[in-house]
Amino acid sequence: MSKEIREILKGGDVKFTIKNTTTYSKGENGEYGYNLQVFKVDKEGLSISGEFGGMNVTKWGPSCVTLYSYNMLSKRTIGKINYKDITIKEIEVACSASLDNEWYYE
C-alpha cells in the first residue's frame, strides 16, 4: 500500500490528509470546527503545501517522504510523513475538451 501511495503522490496534483493533523476550518457540512487539514502536492512533486505554508521534498523514500524548509533566519526544518498515515483525498486530472466530446461525434 505504501508503494502505491508514494507513486500517486510523486505524480503530483494530489490532495491528501494526514492522520491526527487537524485545523480549525469550515468542514464539508458547512460548519466550523476542527477538521483534518488538507495538503497538496505540486504538479512536479517537488513540494507539499498546506493552508498556511509548505515544505520542499528531499526524497520519496520507501516508507515516508522527507521534507525540508528554511525560515526567515535561515534555520532549516526537517520533517517526515509516513505513507501509512496518509489518506488520498483528490487527484486532479487534466483532460482536453476534444476527448471529452469525442463520444458525441460517433
Contact in structure between 45 and 67 (CB atoms under 8 Å): no
Q: What is the pLDDT of residue 59?
A: 96
Q: What is the pLDDT of residue 103?
A: 56
CA 66 – CA 98 distance, rounded (Å): 39
Residue count of the chain: 106
Q: What is the pLDDT of residue 93?
A: 67
CA 90 – CA 75 distance, rounded (Å): 33
Q: What is the pLDDT of residue 31?
A: 93
For 21, the grid coordinates are: 493533523
Per-residue pLDDT 10s for the chain (106 aa) are 788 999 999 999 999 999 999 999 988 889 999 999 999 999 999 999 998 899 999 999 999 999 999 999 999 999 999 999 999 997 766 665 555 555 555 5
Q: Which amino acid is at 68?
A: Y
Contacts of 50 (CB under 8 A, 6+ apart): 37, 38, 39, 40
Q: What is the pLDDT of residue 2?
A: 83
